[in-house]
Amino acid sequence: MRSALWCALLCGAIQGLAAQDQQVTFEETPPVSISGFAVAAAQYDRAPRTNTLTAGKVALSLFKPVGDAYFFGQLTTALDAGTSSTEIDNLIVSWTPHGADRWTLAVGRFDAPVGFERDDEPLNFLPTNSFTFTYARPVKLTGAIVRFTASPRLELDAGVANGWEETVDNNRGKTGLLRAQWVPVDGLTLGLSGLYGPERDSTDAHQRAFLGPDLTLERGPLILGAEASLGREQNPPGPALSWSGAAVTAFWKVGHSLGLAARYDRVSDPDGLVTGVAQTLESVTVGPMWFYRSAQEGIFSNIENTTFHLPQIALRTAVRFDHSTQPFFSNSTGGLSRDDTLAVIELLYLF
């Protein structure tokens, strides 16, 4: 009797909705996926003779698919020089038109599609970023980007942004972006990015041009990532200012839960445009990584352009040797040194 009553009520409800020309569906609304990561570290810096323990960063990500579109947002709270701050690290609304799935439009704040290194710790093999990443190329862009997947092996991007790292435009101009990414054979990805636009505050002059080739190679247990940065900025009435940078990162998966990473990095800044000092910076970084259990699937599941799945827990240690042709690194006497050595132990947890 109870079953018959429920059937009658259900049929009546369906007929009532049909009479109102409303579509009936029993599909569940896709839930909001919540994920994130936390970083803690211990660090010794030889030049200033400092050592510190830090609970350095917590990032919370939200992912919501809606039909042909999705929303991804990430709030990051990070500790820098003893002060914590929270910012919108990523905020992306992406749309792939129905029936035109080769095209994707994304707007918001996103990682610049340049090079091999990324801003978020889980997407890198080492606990520190290179000088090339820090000084020689953009890391974040705020704007819009259109992506065309010409084939499974060729992808083309075009975009416009406020400027390098700018959340609100610092002048009246915009920075244009073009990128091509090609996979000639499985395990090899070649990319070329170009940016052009004004980057100085309150002026549209001094147009800056940037060219950044990159490469990702995966062969068995070896992953190799390389990127270069070539930049030039107009400086009338004098000659243009220029800089260059290059970083090569190698990761060797030694066992099921153990790997060894190394990186060489060099930035040449003869005009002091990007580092503030006319100098050449070099660094060598090497260290092992222990990792355990694969993290849950999300918008970021792998180290980009590789099959290395992000671990849920990773312990990364590294020793970094820095050198500059000019005094640049703060030391214990309150002055500057040409050399520095940094030792880092980093614990990374994804949830």
347 C-beta neighbours (distance < 10 Å), count: 16
Would you say residue 19 lies in a domain? no
Q: How do the residues of the chain divide into helix, strand and coil, expressed in percent and rounded to 5?
A: 10, 60, 35
Q: Using an 8 Å Cβ cutoff, are 188 and 225 in contact?
A: no
Q: How high is the pLDDT of residue 4?
A: 41
* Closest residue by Cα to residue 39 from 287, 351, 346: 346
Mean local confidence (pLDDT), 248-263: 96
**What's the whole-number mean pLDDT along residues 237-263?**
96
Q: What is the predicted pLDDT for the residue at 29? A: 60
Split at pLDDT 50, 70, 90, the class of 31 is confident
Say if residues 268 and 7 touch (Cβ distance below 8 Å): no
Q: Does residue 63 carry a pLDDT above 50? A: yes
Report residue 11 as tokens: 């049929």
Q: What is the pLDDT of residue 298?
A: 66
pLDDT tens digits along 289-306 = 999 998 876 667 899 999
Helices (H), the chain: 2-19, 131
Residue 71 sits in a domain of what CATH number? 2.40.160.10
Q: Which pLDDT tens digit goes with each residue over 100-118?
A: 999 999 999 999 999 999 9
Residue 81 has pLDDT above 60, yes or no: yes
Instruction: Quick: pLDDT tens for 121-145.
Output: 999 999 999 999 999 999 999 999 9
Q: Does the bond joining 113 to the residue before it have cis omega, within 30 degrees of 0?
A: no
Q: Which residue has the higher pLDDT, 341 or 55?
A: 341
Q: Is 220 exposed, middle or buried (0-12, 13-18, 19+ CB in 10 A)?
A: exposed
Q: Which two tokens stand for residue 173?
A: 């101009």
Whole-number mean pLDDT of the chain? 91
Quick check: 18 pLDDT over 80? no
pLDDT band at 85, cuts 50/70/90?
confident
* 90 and 118 Cβ atoms separated by less than 8 Å: no
Does any domain span residue 341? yes
Mean pLDDT of 268-279: 98
For residue 205, count other CB atoms closer than 10 A to its CB.
11
Decide if 34 is inside a domain: no
Q: Is the residue at 121 inside a domain? A: yes
Chain centre distance of CA 58:
16
Residue found by looking up tokens 């996926």 in the block = 33
Q: How confident is the model at residue 22 (pLDDT cuts 50, 70, 90)?
A: very low
* The residue to which tokens 């290395």 are assigned: 308
pLDDT digits (tens, 9 = 90+) for 155-206: 999 999 999 999 999 999 999 999 999 999 999 999 999 999 999 999 998 9
In a domain, 20, yes or no: no
DSSP structure class, residue 32 = P
DSSP letters along 158-226, please? EEEESSTT-SS-SSS--EEEEEEEEEEETTEEEEEEEEEEE-STT-S-SEEEEEEEEEEEEETTEEEEE
| Contact by Cβ (8 Å): 199, 208 | yes
* Whole-angstrom distance, CA of residue 215 vs CA of residue 189: 6
Which pair of tokens denotes residue 141? 């862009």
Rounded to whole angstroms, how far apart are CA atoms 45 and 180? 39
Residue 160 inside a domain? The answer is: yes
Q: Where are the beta strands (DSSP E) in 46-187?
A: 50-66, 69-80, 83-95, 103-111, 140-151, 154-161, 175-185
Amino acid at 183: V
CB atoms within 10 A of CB 101: 10
Whether residue 86 is predicted with pLDDT greater than 80 in this model: the reply is yes
pLDDT the model gives residue 2:
39
**What was the pLDDT predicted at 49?**
96
| C-beta of residue 312 within 8 angstroms of C-beta of residue 295 | yes
d(C-alpha 181, C-alpha 184), whole Å:
10
Q: How many domains is the chain built from? A: 1
* Averaged pLDDT for residues 249-259: 96
Asked whether residue 8 carries a pLDDT value surpassing 60, the answer given is no
Say how far apart CA 323 and CA 317 lie, in whole Å: 20
Domain, as residue range, for 201: 47-350
pLDDT band at 216 (very low <50, low <70, confident <90, very high): very high
Question: What is residue 103's predicted lDDT score, i.e. its pLDDT?
Answer: 97
Structural domain includes residue 17: no
pLDDT at residue 300 in the model: 72
- Asked if the structure places residue 331 within a domain, the reply is yes
pLDDT of residue 3: 42
